[in-house]
Structure 1
């Protein structure tokens, strides 16, 4: 039972709720699946949502204690990103216990570029491997959200079936983890792919996630923002920090009391960013300087100020 103490604590929070005071011109596609987070509101929108159509391909029985139901879908509509076109491939899988209880659902979506250049082919191979690696992790790592959820729901079933007394484990909804494409931008020699995610493991709400991938257009090889900008990381920190501090000072009630202190001590602004047609958006995560309900706090730095 101790094995699932963390999971049970998260479930208890579900009842308590959550509070607190707590060379080319840039071209961006419209995000095709939107934000994976319903609760949080970004201060800058990255576009409208494209709806996906789902085509169920069948059910696969795994060589484990569970059965996984798989469904694949493709948004066939081409989406433009500068001179490039792509569509969205998505994959969904459910895991249940032997007793038939839904334990976890995973949804993966990623871009597929429709050209035949070396760069596009290599970017497509990158995201195919990305999806394969995630599925391997979900199914084979004992600490993955899938296997933790299966263990918990199985333990809950066992208690319910073997005792006449009320179970000591709180019932919680199935876990889930969703990945969506937030947007694709072509800028100069770079293609930027912005990914969003949402993970729920019990409690009052799940948590959002973000990641941005930069690729060289010609080779399709991954690169970094630090290697592309013309200013030092220290100069970047100063520039971005000042923009955040302006927001905090202009709306102190919307941020934590120690928001300014947190920002003054923060030296990793370059780790949290994505591209839009207007520039590079830098953000702080929920709970970092503001309550969860405030979502991500964002500032935008024009490409020209970064030498992009």
Structure 2
């Protein structure tokens, strides 16, 4: 019941035109000894051929290097950010995208391949932003162009938009090197209007020698069912011991039906951290709910 009330409240806030980010948007960090700091942020469509051409002309692109070298085990890396912005045919900012990623500074085969992976990953994402009308950039350009056209048809000039520009940001939440594994954990934030945006998370695992991408299922000695049972039990312990009503009334029911715990994880120095997203078993303000399984318990 609490879950439906929370979603209804969010919908109401969107309809009232509330904008901007709140203090509640900090969704949790990796908290690792060898990690980069987390930064919180957020989220083309072709409305007409002319609008698309103009938007492409107004696209701003920038790549920047941030800070100095950091360490993850024996590996050194620094962070870089690729940023692009898209504007409407009349020059109004519609959407900004920022993607932060690690650049490994060694000359091993593994480090070179990981750097190549990130260049391809970023290129693919930017191509999707540009060409996919259902991407956040596509929706933002379509919405703002339509609003802009509606305004000018009535007043002959463009007024202030009712919502801030959309944005989507990816930051590096932590880099961990353990045995022959390099793990890169990303936090994301997507804002498309309303009271607040939505956080997200993403983890990449690599073989440190070859740079080949790995999967968690290939590294642990548990079957999918065994892992789900183990992680589910940890979450249920949190729900059962809760005395502050932090969770939805149907949190236990949701957890018992959940079978994809392996899809939501990151690595830290102690083990594998599994998490549930905001609104899954607790309100948005509660952020992520996390449990940690030691590496030894997973055969890693």
Q: TM-score, normalised on structure 1?
A: 0.81
Which ranges in structure 2 are unaligned for 5 or more consecutive residues?
1-9, 40-50
Residue number in structure 2 paired with 1:262: 254
1:65 to 2:54 alignment = yes
Residue number in structure 1 paired with 2:264: 272
Residue number in structure 2 paired with 1:162: 153
Change (3 A) 1:256 1:224: same
Q: Once superposed, what is the RMSD of the aligned Cα atoms?
A: 2.7
Residue number in structure 2 paired with 1:251: 242
Distance 1:69 1:268 in 2: 38
Report if aligned partners of 2:30, 2:174 keep a CA contact under 8 Å in 1.
no
Report if aligned partners of 1:43, 1:298 keep a CA contact under 8 Å in 2.
no
Greater per-residue helix proportion? 2
Residue number in structure 2 paired with 1:39: 25
Change (3 A) 1:108 1:41: closer
Match of 2:281 among 279, 284, 289: 289
Residue number in structure 2 paired with 1:15: 16
1:94 to 2:53 alignment = no
Residue number in structure 1 paired with 2:42: none
Residue number in structure 2 paired with 1:240: 231
Which ranges in structure 1 are unaligned for 5 or more consecutive residues?
1-8, 19-36, 53-61
The C-alpha deviation readout for 1:44-81, integer Å capped at 9, x for no partner, is 634686599xxxxxxxxx98222012222102511100
Distance 1:12 1:51 in 2: 27
Report if aligned partners of 1:88, 1:110 keep a CA contact under 8 Å in 2.
yes
The C-alpha deviation readout for 1:259-301, integer Å capped at 9, x for no partner, is 0001111111111000000110000011000001111100001
Change (3 A) 1:105 1:43: closer
Q: TM-score, normalised on structure 2?
A: 0.83
The C-alpha deviation readout for 1:219-277, integer Å capped at 9, x for no partner, is 10001000110122211111111111111111150000000001111111111000000
Match of 1:177 among 168, 191, 194: 168
Residue number in structure 1 paired with 2:222: 231
Report if aligned partners of 2:207, 2:213 keep a CA contact under 8 Å in 1.
yes
Residue number in structure 2 paired with 1:136: 127
SS in 2 for 1:195: strand
Report if aligned partners of 1:43, 1:296 keep a CA contact under 8 Å in 2.
no
Distance 1:114 1:38 in 2: 35
SS in 1 for 2:196: coil
Change (3 A) 1:38 1:105: farther
